């Protein structure tokens, strides 16, 4: 997409908007604004370890401002993840720490004026750390105590930290890594009802530091508010299925002080099913797609993950 560079020679609102639209694509996977994770605040016995491996395929496009010279932006993003999580007690409540290492491969195409352009990228993504603690409910229990407990309403808080460890080349318009830090404080409520049902609701905000070397310019992004809602049903003791919904808005992008006139806004719907594989393993399959998009990525996502648990 070398012709995009001529829109960057004189930093203007139009030039910044072009960069911002492409930046939505390059930063969407590591930022994770569209993530939908049912039972993220569910309690587990302390001392439990989880090893998680996953694969996600994301396809779709970016809804752009029609006044821009770029259109029909499409992407196919394949991502693999490897993660580890451990639960522990904190002030009498259950807490956990997790780390996730992603690897991404993407093919992106678009129309710049009357010219078609394509680009492929692959490499390690930005490392992600998640810290979670229950504030109400979810007492720290041993595996034996946990097996005898009755499910109760829990209120938890978490902090996601995304570190700029991914592959990043400053001269590229589109990168795997984002070359900035991102933080997402979040609060979540989980409540069981009607014996087998569980409802989850989360509210969080992504906060971003600046990318100080984005094609030689400074790229800034305002906070991005994210909400999630999940309604899940226990199929058996360890199997469950969930309906998922998320909404996010904000994240207006500016490049060297020239602000993009639009803000991202997206609603997504999806579903998740988790099934046991023996005593210590499980597999989870999820799918989601954009239901309403004002500006930003409009993706269809399908993923599968495997987990191994020990310490119970």
pLDDT category, 3, cuts 50, 70, 90? Answer: very low
pLDDT category, 252, cuts 50, 70, 90? Answer: confident
pLDDT category, 290, cuts 50, 70, 90? Answer: confident
Q: What residues are paired with 120 via a beta bridge? A: 107
Is a pLDDT exceeding 70 seen at residue 57? yes
pLDDT category, 297, cuts 50, 70, 90? Answer: low
The answer to whether the CB of 114 falls within 8 A of the CB of 138 is: no
Is a pLDDT exceeding 90 seen at residue 38? yes
pLDDT category, 10, cuts 50, 70, 90? Answer: very low
Find the distance separating the first CA and the last CA of the chain, reported in whole Å.
52
pLDDT of residue 125: 92
The residue extents of the domains of the chain are: 2-310
Residue scoring higher pLDDT (292 or 133):
133
Q: What is the pLDDT of residues 219-248, one digit of tens each?
A: 888 999 999 999 999 999 889 999 999 998
pLDDT of residue 272: 97
Is a pLDDT exceeding 50 seen at residue 143? yes
Section 264-284 average pLDDT: 92
| Low-confidence winner among 23-32, 222-231, 251-260 (lowest mean pLDDT) | 23-32
Section 15-42 average pLDDT: 61
Q: What is d(CA 12, CA 30) in angstroms, rounded to the nearest whole number?
A: 27
pLDDT of residue 63: 61
In the CATH scheme, what architecture does the domain 2-310 have? Beta Barrel (2.40)
């Amino acid at each position: 997409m070398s012709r995009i560079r001529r829109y960057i020679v004189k930093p203007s609102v139009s030039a910044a908007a072009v960069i911002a639209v492409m930046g939505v694509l390059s930063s969407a996977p590591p930022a994770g604004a569209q993530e939908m994770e049912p039972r993220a605040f569910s309690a587990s016995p302390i001392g439990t370890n989880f090893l998680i491996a996953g694969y996600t395929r994301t396809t779709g496009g970016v809804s752009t401002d029609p006044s821009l010279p770029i259109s029909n932006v499409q992407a196919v993003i394949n991502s693999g993840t490897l993660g580890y999580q451990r639960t522990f007690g904190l002030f009498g409540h259950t807490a956990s720490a997790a780390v996730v290492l992603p690897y991404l491969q993407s093919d992106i195409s678009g129309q710049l004026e009357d010219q078609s352009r394509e680009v492929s990228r692959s490499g390690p993504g930005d490392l992600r750390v998640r810290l979670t603690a229950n504030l109400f409910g979810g007492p720290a229990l041993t595996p034996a105590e946990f097996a005898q407990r009755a499910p109760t309403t829990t209120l938890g808080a978490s902090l996601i930290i995304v570190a700029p460890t991914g592959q990043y080349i400053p001269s590229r318009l589109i990168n795997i890594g984002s070359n900035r830090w991102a933080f997402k404080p979040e609060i979540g409520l989980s409540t069981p009802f009607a014996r087998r049902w569980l409802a989850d609701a989360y509210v969080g905000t992504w906060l971003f530091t600046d990318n100080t070397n984005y094609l030689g310019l400074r790229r800034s992004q305002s906070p991005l508010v994210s909400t999630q809602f999940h309604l899940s049903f226990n199929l058996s003791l360890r199997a469950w299925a969930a309906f998922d919904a998320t909404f996010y808005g904000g994240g207006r992008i500016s490049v060297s002080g020239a602000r993009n006139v639009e803000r991202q806004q997206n609603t997504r719907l999806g579903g998740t099913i988790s099934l046991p594989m023996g005593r210590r393993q499980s597999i989870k399959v999820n799918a989601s797609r954009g239901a309403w998009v004002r500006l930003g990525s409009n993706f269809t996502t399908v993923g599968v993950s495997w987990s191994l648990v020990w310490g119970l």
